[in-house]
Amino acid sequence: MPDDTPTIRAIYNPIAGRRDLSAFLEKLAHELKPRKYTLEITPTGGPGDATRLARETPDDTHAVMAVGGDGTCRDVATGLLGRDVPMIVAPAGNENILAKYFKSKATIDSLVSTIIEGNVTTYDVGTLNSKPFILLAGVGFDAEAVHRVTESRTGHISYLTYAKPLWQTFWQHRFPTIRVTLDDATVFEGRGLAFVGVMPRYAIGLRLLANAQHDDGMLDVCVMPCSTRPQLIGLSLAALLGRHVRRKGVIYCKGTHVRIESLNGEKVPCQIDGDVADDLPIDCGVMPQAVRILIPPRK
């Protein structure tokens, strides 16, 4: 007879965040067993594994659990694009921005409750040069810092891992000259930082794209003119206080296609969801409601 036990595939990034969660997943599997659910734990072994494992997941799977940081969630979401199988977020990274947005927690009780009683919602997915992202793309200072962190990373990371790369970037950043085009209209030319995304939150709770909604089928864009270190400090403080959009010269708008390019041909790094992405030029688009997410039940 066929096995009708609902299966959850847990795609697990062993080096995400600060600690190994394999024992936690074994405990979760133990708690689900008497509830007639099977947890299939599948660790990743390298880049691309999470996307492949999600893509290979059978259509009758109850859900795919992304166990890791926002990069792991992005990779799993990429493998589930356009499919009915929903994703569950089990936060195990440093920022866990997607998890915070949907109030997902990496506790046994919360995950069991989500699996059995959770609600399904749909989620827009952005693209950068056709590569999916689930939070935002950054051009400028933050992207340069992400590149430095990636070059020095050897395993689990913490907030302290970012200290030296951020300090180096602060003193060595050259404030590139960029052009930002939104739906075929140029909205900015000059030295600055740019963010494009589908999620309001960014690292350390910054609401860089404060008006972004996860299911409106639009990209939110924030461009901040910046050519000096004092300006960078001022913008950072304004962002911490949620007042950056009010600063003179800052541009905030919405659209469905964004192109960002370097005006003088210099190499300008970009990042998506806190990971290294293509250098400029980039073209960003949006895939409306492309992924289904199983979120905790409303209390």
Does the pLDDT at position 154 exceed 80? no
Higher pLDDT, 261 or 48: 261
Does the pLDDT at position 243 exceed 50? yes
Residue 146 to residue 213: CA distance in whole angstroms: 25
Does the pLDDT at position 214 exceed 70? yes
pLDDT the model gives residue 82? 95
pLDDT the model gives residue 2? 47
Q: Identify the CA nearest to 42 among candidates 14, 19, 84.
A: 14
CATH class of the structural domain 131-288: mainly beta
**The model's pTM:** 0.89
Average pLDDT score over the chain: 90
Give the CA distances from residue 146 to residues 139, 149, 214, 238, in Å, rounded to whole numbers and listed in that order: 11, 5, 24, 21
Residue 80 to residue 64: CA distance in whole angstroms: 9
Q: Which residue type occupies 74?
A: R
pLDDT the model gives residue 55? 97
Higher pLDDT, 74 or 147: 74
User: Domain map of the chain by residue range?
Assistant: 7-117, 131-288
Pick the CATH number of 7-117 from 3.40.50.150, 3.30.300.30, 3.40.50.10330, 3.40.50.300: 3.40.50.10330
Query: What value does the mean pLDDT take over residues 216-234?
Result: 94
